[in-house]
Amino acid sequence: MKSLLAVAALLLLLCDPLFSIDDAVSGLTDGVFSDAELGFRYTLPKELTDETSYSREELRKRAAALGTSSNTLEILLRMTSGPPDTAPDWHAISIQTYPHSKFAGLDDRAVEAKMNGWMAGDGVTAIGEPKRVSIGGANFVVTNFEKSEPSHVKYARIYSTIRNGKLLGFAFTANSADKLQPLADSLGTLEFTGDGADGLLKDGVFSNAGLGFQYTPPKGFIDETSDARESVRTRAAALHTNNTFNVLLSMTSGQDDAAPDWRLVSIETYLRSRFAGLTNAAAETKINVWAAGSHASAVGDPKLVAMAGASFMVSTFEQSEPPLKKHAHVYSTIRNGQLLVIALTANSEEGVKSLETSMQTLQFKEAGK
């Protein structure tokens, strides 16, 4: 990746042009940028100059000189307040993409944080830790950067997410912190027309285009997905590991998990490739145990069941938490290179059975494995 970083170093904080892509599926009309392939639209701040074409041409020349034409970030849009870039009120917005497949083996959050660093380029300083935020119904990793220039400091805030197999990044840059904040606030106009890597919960139905399924959680449940993701991130950081589940959805009947009628539905994924050498059945059985946690005890043997046209490995678990006993049924299958895990947990056997009725709403668009 050294050649890519060489190009990236010329990037955003140096105010040099970024990367190329054609206009077949994206465009800027009346101050609104939209992209059909990635399924989003974004309204830009007024009085910015479109420098996209110039930026793309500069990238082509640099990439050709470095021999990296097939391994670069791509620019969808580049807008600035105009030259000179040393002016106190100078600011810029860039939207870029990079193939997610080129990060095989890394979890989504690590990839998004790495994307932010690449977009910022060399010579910058990250301010604080990357954070997980939700914008327009999608989940982003956001990182703040600073770069000291001879006459001033450049400030940047970069947001990355995953959409339809691509890393999508929004970079906001300014020569003052006061200018940066209004730029970043413009991301509040972002709208997505479909779901991305993590999926979308809309009108009570969760869908994920990448894995080709939809599921209707029980009514009245509380969406705690953001909290669950942050908990995973915090634990992973404490253990210095990126080897974690990716939480797609976490919904509960209430915040008190000691209540007798408490219930939880969780949908997660894990890379199938990390279980190389195991059969599909063995991988599904193992992921069920991991999803249940180290303190849970298996009840009986895993069973293979057919549901919604897919084959699932189902395991039953119990965990003693006096005065309660938690019960769980964990379902796993393989979809497009991912182990897809649906865990149903409750403080009673009746509670788990009531959750199982929601599995009847599960629908797949095509075969998995």
Task: Note whether 173 and 238 are same-domain residues.
Answer: no
Threshold 0.85, pTM exceeds: no
What's the structural domain count of the chain?
2
Task: Note whether 360 and 233 are same-domain residues.
Answer: yes
In a domain, 151, yes or no: yes
Task: Note whether 268 and 243 are same-domain residues.
Answer: yes
Task: Give me the DSSP letters along 191-242.
Answer: EESS--SS-EEETTEEEETTTTEEE-PPTT-EE-HHHHHHHHHHHHHHHT--
Q: How far apart are CA 337 and CA 13, in angstroms?
A: 37
Q: What is the pLDDT of residue 58?
A: 83
Residue reference for tokens 């220039």: 149
Q: How far apart are CA 158 and CA 114, in angstroms?
A: 11
In a domain, 333, yes or no: yes
Residue reference for tokens 């009840």: 299
In a domain, 250, yes or no: yes
In a domain, 369, yes or no: no
In a domain, 54, yes or no: yes
Q: What is the pLDDT of residue 67?
A: 72
Q: Which of 192, 218, 241 is the last residue of a domain?
A: 192
Q: Which of 131, 159, 192 is the last residue of a domain?
A: 192
Task: Note whether 38 and 84 are same-domain residues.
Answer: yes
Q: Which three-class secondary structure state does DSSP give residue 5? A: helix
Q: How far apart are CA 127 and CA 10, in angstroms?
A: 20
- For residue range 226-253, what is the model confidence (pLDDT) as tens digits? 788 878 877 777 777 767 888 899 999 9
Q: What pairing do the DSSP bridges indicate for beta strands 213-215 and 205-208?
A: antiparallel
Print the domain residue range for 250: 200-364
- For residue range 247-305, what is the model confidence (pLDDT) as tens digits? 899 999 998 999 999 999 999 999 898 899 999 999 999 999 999 998 999 999 999 99
Task: Note whether 27 and 173 are same-domain residues.
Answer: yes
In a domain, 351, yes or no: yes
- For residue range 88-109, what is the model confidence (pLDDT) as tens digits? 999 999 999 998 877 766 778 8
What is the rounded average pLDDT of the residues 111-122? Answer: 89
Task: Note whether 210 and 147 are same-domain residues.
Answer: no
CATH of the domain at 176: 3.40.1000.10
Task: Note whether 175 and 311 are same-domain residues.
Answer: no
Backbone angles phi, psi at 324, to 5 degrees: -105, 165
- Closest C-alpha to 248, from 150, 89, 347, 108: 108
Task: Note whether 160 and 64 are same-domain residues.
Answer: yes
Task: Note whether 71 and 144 are same-domain residues.
Answer: yes
Q: Which three-class secondary structure state does DSSP give residue 63? A: helix
- The DSSP letter of residue 357 is G
Task: Note whether 180 and 258 are same-domain residues.
Answer: no
Q: What is the pLDDT of residue 126?
A: 95
Q: What share of the chain is helix, strand, coil (3-state, %, to 5)?
A: 25, 40, 35
Q: Which of 192, 219, 249 is the last residue of a domain?
A: 192
Q: Which amino acid is at 122?
A: D
Residue reference for tokens 């955003």: 12
- Closest C-alpha to 104, from 3, 1, 258: 1
Instruction: Report the residue count for the chain.
Output: 369
- Closest C-alpha to 364, from 248, 213, 209, 200: 213
Task: Note whether 156 and 244 are same-domain residues.
Answer: no
Q: How far apart are CA 333 and CA 304, in angstroms?
A: 10
Question: Residue 69: CA atoms inside 13 Å, Cβ hemisphere, count?
Answer: 6
Task: Note whether 176 and 125 are same-domain residues.
Answer: yes
- The token duo for 187 is 């991301």
